Amino acid sequence: MRYKKIIATLLSAALILQMAAPSFGAPGTTVAAPGTTASAPETTEVEEVYGPGTVSQNETGLPLGLHGMELSAQQIIEKQELSELVKNMEDSIEGKDYRADRVYFTYDDESEAEEIADCYGADLTDYGYGVGVIELEDMAELEEELSVSELLTLAADTSNNLPAVYPDIAHKTTDYRTSGAEESYPVNDPYYYRQWAHSFTGTEEAWAAGITGEGVKVAIIDTGVDHNNEDLAGNLIGGYNAVRNVEGDYDDTKYSADAGHGTHVAGIVAAETDNGAGGCGIAPKASIMPIRVFEKVYDSEDEEWGLTAYSSKIVRGVNYAVNHDADVINMSIGSAYGDPAEKRALENAERRGVVTVCAAGNDYSDCVEYPAALD
């Protein structure tokens, strides 16, 4: 445990990476703040129309095709958390700050997942590691189309028994910088001189004391890792593709719009040392568990492809890391919004003894981004 904390401290200092901050223009489709009244009784499907321009509803005020369920104490808390998130995202833009075609939810077992999906008139098709995804196009029982923002407003409203679903918030990768002038160093890795983090954190002193990360599993939740990289191949222990929900298949050279971010971060953590290739990792004998959460997304504004990680994939990735005995989780990602489901996943990791390191998001601002800003 002592070594885990030392390695995590070194990583925290080393991964002071420059954030690519999301831009916030004039609001488009926004999320309305919900009401705060008490829980409603069981739903009965009775079609009524509540005034001009409104959708057909049942007697609990839910659109036809949606229905509530008996909520546990935890699920009621989740609705309250969602209510706060919806208020905080009043100026967010649907389709930019979060996905416009889906929502996600968390669950304890498959039967609960099926029940939650059924409340939204959808079949359970995309689920794993405690996260289910509902695509709006799969909500076949819904009589009239709803936007994600409208669905979130309904889910956050405590006057009904709909279980909480969450916006699939977009997260960006952090940028990285190298600096320094070539000098004489005690290792033969050609790019060591550019790695200012080693002198900043005192890794040479840690190595001299025998702290090299040996026996420590570090989950890199990022774009994936190049499994053929000569500086990393010997330290990889398999991983998970949270985007496709499959074991392995995490090679970032296959999927990334600018392949290499996850490989670079993994190299900061555990690139082999004194092997005459590349640079040196902070913990060169640590094992790397690559977890891919980023996917290529086309930005119609900038007319180019970029990388985005959505909350549903991040929560899956954290849960995978915890379930597969990671000692440390590294997340070099950031968003302007704090997701309560991400927070619960990270709190569970902490309870299980996993140390989490998140990039603060240094885009020349004092504002710490999420998930690093979570309490």
Q: What is the 3-state secondary structure (H, E, C) of 184-205?
A: CCCCCCCCHHHCHHHHHHCHHH
**Residue that has been written with the tokens 């009043």 in this structure:** 90
CB 266 within 8 A of CB 217: no
Q: Other CB atoms closer than 10 Å to residue 119's CB: what's the count?
A: 22
Q: Is the pLDDT of residue 54 over 70?
A: no
Name the pairing type of β-strands 287-292 and 217-222.
parallel
Q: List pLDDT tens digits, range 194-244.
A: 788 888 888 888 888 999 999 999 999 999 998 888 888 889 998 899 998
Q: Where is average pLDDT lowest: 43-57, 176-190, 233-247?
A: 43-57
Q: What is the pLDDT of residue 3?
A: 54
Q: What is the pLDDT of residue 181?
A: 42
Q: What is the pLDDT of residue 7?
A: 59
Q: What is the pLDDT of residue 222?
A: 93
Q: Other CB atoms closer than 10 Å to residue 266's CB: what's the count?
A: 28
**Residue that has been written with the tokens 């004489």 in this structure:** 184
Half-sphere exposure of 307 (CA within 13 A, CB side): 25
> Following DSSP, what letter does each residue of 87-146 receive, concatenated?
HHTTT--BTTTEEEEEEEEE-SSHHHHHHHHHHTT----EEETTEEEEEGGG-TT-SS--
Q: Is the pLDDT of residue 58 over 70?
A: no
Q: Where is average pLDDT lowest: 27-36, 107-116, 119-128?
A: 27-36
CB 306 within 8 A of CB 119: no
Q: What is the pLDDT of residue 34?
A: 41
Q: Other CB atoms closer than 10 Å to residue 257's CB: what's the count?
A: 17
Q: What's the rounded mean pLDDT across residues 245-259? A: 73
- pLDDT tier, 77 (very low <50, low <70, confident <90, very high otherwise): very high
Q: What is the pLDDT of residue 31?
A: 39
Least Cα distance to 192 among 285, 306, 279, 305 occurs for 279
- pLDDT tier, 255 (very low <50, low <70, confident <90, very high otherwise): low
Angstrom distance (rounded) from CA 172 to CA 125: 27
Structure tokens at 142: 């819904």
Structure tokens at 17: 């990476």
- pLDDT tier, 8 (very low <50, low <70, confident <90, very high otherwise): low
Structure tokens at 172: 């960006």
Q: What is the pLDDT of residue 250?
A: 80
SS3 content of the chain, % helix, strand, coil (to 5): 30, 20, 50
Characterize 325-353 residue by residue with b for buried, 16 or more Cβ atoms within 10 angstroms of its Cβ, and e for exposed. Answer: ebbbbbbbbbbbbbbbbbbbbbeebeeee
Angstrom distance (rounded) from CA 337 to CA 349: 20
